[in-house]
Amino acid sequence: MTAQILTVDDSASVRMTTRMALTRAGFSVVEAVDGVDGLTKAKTKRFDAIITDLNMPNMDGLKMIEEMRRLPNQLGVPILFLTTESDAGLKTRAKSAGATAWLTKPFEPDQLVKLVTRVLAR
């Protein structure tokens, strides 16, 4: 079973880069354009991992992560967030919202794949 990954980002170019990297590595990708969209998609099915931007319109990543952690069907799903800051404060806030791991932008596609592989238990 191919691992299904939900990527949430308001930037089409980041979404595309992410998708290209992940599909090349054999993952199947579902995209969402903001927090609200991400949450809606997370309600419909269980994903193997969720990758999200933090700074997004409509609903930001922090809020979305919090909400997702309340969804029974995403119980224990790794939620990775992308951040441009090395700001420890933001990481702590994302972690306490329920995020699993993070990746600092800009990242190489390989780093992303590596991270996703890393959080998915083998």
Partner 1 sequence: MSTIDPLDIFRAEAAELLEQIEQGLLDLEHRLDDRALIDSVFRGLHTLKGSGAMFGFDALAAFTHHCETAFDRVRKGLAPATTDLVMAVLAARDHMRALVEDPAGDYGATGAALLKQLQDAVDGGSGRTEPTAAIDQPETIPAAGAVASTAGDAADKSQMRRWRIRFSLPPDTLFNGTNPLALLDEMRDLGDAEIQVDTSNVPPLDAIKPTDLYLSWVVMLTTDRPRADIEDVFIFVMDEMSLNIEELGPFDPAEPILAWTPAEAVATPAVAAGRMAEPALPPATHAAEKPVHAATGTSQRSEVADSMARRKAESVRVPAERLDELMDRVGELVIAQSRLTQIAASSLDAQLRTVSEEMERLCSELRTTMMVLRMVPVGTLFERFRRLVHDLQRDTGKTIELVTAGETTEMDKTVIERLADPLVHLVRNAADHGLESPEGRHAAGKSEIGRVTLSARQVGGEVIVTIADDGRGIDRDKIRAKAESSGLIPVGAVMSDQEVLQLILQPGFSTAATVTNLSGRGVGMDVVKKTIDSLRGTIDISTRLGEGTTIALRIPLTLAIIDGLLVRVGKGRYVIPLPAVEECLELSLEEDLRSRGRSFLSLRGSLVPFIRLREIFSTGSKPDPYQKIVVVSTGEDRVGLVVDQIIGDHQTVIKSMSKLHDDVSTFSGATILGDGGVALILDVANLVAAGREQEAQLRATA
Which parts of this chain interact with partner 1 (CB under 8 A)?
2-3, 10-14, 16-17, 19-20, 23-31, 49, 53, 55-57, 69, 75-79, 82, 84, 86, 92, 95, 98-108, 111, 114-115, 118-122
CB 61 within 8 A of CB 8: yes
- Looking at the DSSP bridge assignments, the partners of residue 39 are none
- Report, in Å, the least distance between residue 55 CB and partner 1: 5
- Report, in Å, the least distance between residue 73 CB and partner 1: 13
- Report, in Å, the least distance between residue 15 CB and partner 1: 9
Whose Cβ is closer to partner 1: residue 43's or residue 101's? 101
DSSP secondary structure of 10-53? S-HHHHHHHHHHHHHTT-EEEEESSHHHHHHHHHHS--SEEEEE
